Amino acid sequence: MSRQRRVRDVLLPELDAQLASIIGASVVLVVVAGLVQIRYGAYEMPFETVVRALFDRVVWTNPDVLATLVLGENAARTLGVYADLSVLTNATIVVWTVRLPRVLVAAFVGLNLAVSGAIFQAITRNELASPYILGVSSGAGVAVVFTLVFSLGAYLLPLAAVAGGTAAFLLVYAVAWRGGTTPVRLVLAGVVVGTIFNSLQTGLFYFIESNGVMRTAVAWLAGSLTGVDWTDARIVAVPTLVVVPAALASARQLDVLLLGERAARSLGMSVERIRFLLSALAILAASAAVAVAGLVGFVGLVVPHAVRTFVGSDYRRLMTGCLFAGPALVVVADVVARLALGGTQVPVGVVTGLLGGPYFLLLLRRTESFTEF
């Protein structure tokens, strides 16, 4: 068996009608919503111009130009691949520096949140778990508000979010640990730590003095993609390169973990170690998303849940579905967040919440049992 074949066998599921249609529909949604997002806005252009700008020959035939756009001027200079961007048309500049990175960041955020949610749903054996269940959201929230209140610098926000989220997660684990953990203990510890951190965060709000800072804080807590650029795309892309293969490779561990702790242990799994590593992977994915977009809610909960109703609970299939459906949801939601209200942009987290709520309402009316995987 060749090495290539081996890796493919392990990582990729067999494609069947359901999985293929999820992937197909997601790709179509991302492309259509992406084109809409790129076309409309303060600088309007016809679709023809959009396509021409995306496939601009100056960008694609000139590696230095592409590198300067994607890596930023400073990094390009350092690497010696800098090119002057003034050769580009206005449309190309707008598409490549403002609108395309926003679509890309939205897709990455959706992917990471969906993967993170899928992992946490297996770890806690609860299909209503979200990436924020082990305290990431409240930890990141406190750190972000703290950074803003004490004006530590806006460029520190992504770092603060990741540090706060990770600290909260470790605290949750420490609280839940008593010669080992159980899903229930972890979730309860998550609630406890979350409550404390949320109170701290609310308290901190009273120290905010300017309206501008207040807006930034609210946008972070609600989850917003306003003003993201290639810097954010790079921040989220790097962890994603780790998250995607790791998530696919972990699928079998997640499947075995779902058989129950006792069965997993009798099959020779070091349950505590695997559970911690998988949690860390899920936290990495969630943090990557939180660092660039703030606390976008409901994506990590709805996407794995919805994909599961189509492809079942086999994690290789579920994970693959999430890799496509997550980006689709966030890219579409961001189009609504940016364009639906004309002049005013709302945080994308508001839109995902408005989409996710009714989905669960529908589910609640239709399903009898929530706990069955």
Partner 1 sequence: MPEIPLVSTDAESTDATTTDFDDPVEEAALLASGIELGYGEEIVVDFDDLVIPEGEVTALVGPNGSGKSTLLKGLSAELEPASGSVLLNGRDVQQRPAKDLARELGLLDQENAAPGGLTVEDLATHGRYPHRGFLDPLTEDDREAVERAIDLAGVDHLRDTQLSELSGGQKQLAFVAMTLAQDTDVLLLDEPTTYLDLHHQLRVMEVVRTLNEERDVTVCVVLHDLQQAARFADYLVALDDGAVYDWGPPEDVVTEQLLADVFDVDAAVSFDREDDEPRIVPRRALD
Question: Token pair for residue 4?
Answer: 């290539």
Binding residue (CB under 8 A) for partner 1 from 57, 80, 262, 343: 262
- 333-342: b (≥16 Cβ within 10 Å) or e: bbbbbbeeee
Which x/- pattern, by CB under 8 A, does the window 204-243 give for partner 1? Answer: ----------------------------------------
Question: Token pair for residue 60?
Answer: 């694609």
- By the 8 A CB rule, do 315 and 118 touch? yes
The minimum distance between CB 228 and partner 1, in angstroms, equals 35
* CA–CA separation, 110 and 228 (whole Å): 15
Binding residue (CB under 8 A) for partner 1 from 47, 150, 207, 373: 373
Binding residue (CB under 8 A) for partner 1 from 260, 341, 357, 370: 260
Residue (of 347, 327, 322, 366) closest to 122 by Cα position:
322
Distances in Å between the Cα of 309 and the Cα atoms of 169, 272, 282 are 29, 28, 21
Kindly indicate which of the ranges 133-141, 234-242, 266-274, 319-327 contains the residues binding partner 1, using the contact rule CB under 8 A.
Answer: 266-274
Question: Token pair for residue 297?
Answer: 């809610």
Binding residue (CB under 8 A) for partner 1 from 35, 249, 280, 354: 249
Binding residue (CB under 8 A) for partner 1 from 268, 342, 343, 358: 268
If you ran DSSP here, which 8-state letter would residue 97 be given? I
- By the 8 A CB rule, do 194 and 186 touch? no
Binding residue (CB under 8 A) for partner 1 from 19, 121, 230, 314: 314
> Does 368 contact partner 1 by CB under 8 A?
no
The minimum distance between CB 323 and partner 1, in angstroms, equals 18
Binding residue (CB under 8 A) for partner 1 from 60, 77, 265, 370: 265
* CA–CA separation, 91 and 179 (whole Å): 60
Which x/- pattern, by CB under 8 A, does the window 294-313 give for partner 1? Answer: --------------x--xxx
Q: How many residues make contact with partner 1 (CB under 8 A)?
A: 28
Q: Which residue intervals of the chain are DSSP H helices?
A: 3-11, 17-39, 47-54, 57-60, 63-71, 73-79, 90-94, 100-123, 136-149, 157-176, 183-205, 211-222, 230-249, 251-258, 261-266, 271-293, 299-311, 315-339, 348-366
The minimum distance between CB 267 and partner 1, in angstroms, equals 4
> Does 7 contact partner 1 by CB under 8 A?
yes
Question: Token pair for residue 204?
Answer: 């901190």
By beta-carbon proximity to partner 1, the closer residue of 63 and 312 is 312
By beta-carbon proximity to partner 1, the closer residue of 64 and 261 is 261
* CA–CA separation, 138 and 196 (whole Å): 9
Question: Token pair for residue 303?
Answer: 């996407």
The minimum distance between CB 268 and partner 1, in angstroms, equals 3
The minimum distance between CB 96 and partner 1, in angstroms, equals 38
Q: Which residues bind partner 1 (CB under 8 A)?
A: 1, 6-7, 9-10, 125, 249, 252, 255-256, 258-260, 262-263, 265-270, 308, 311-314, 372-373
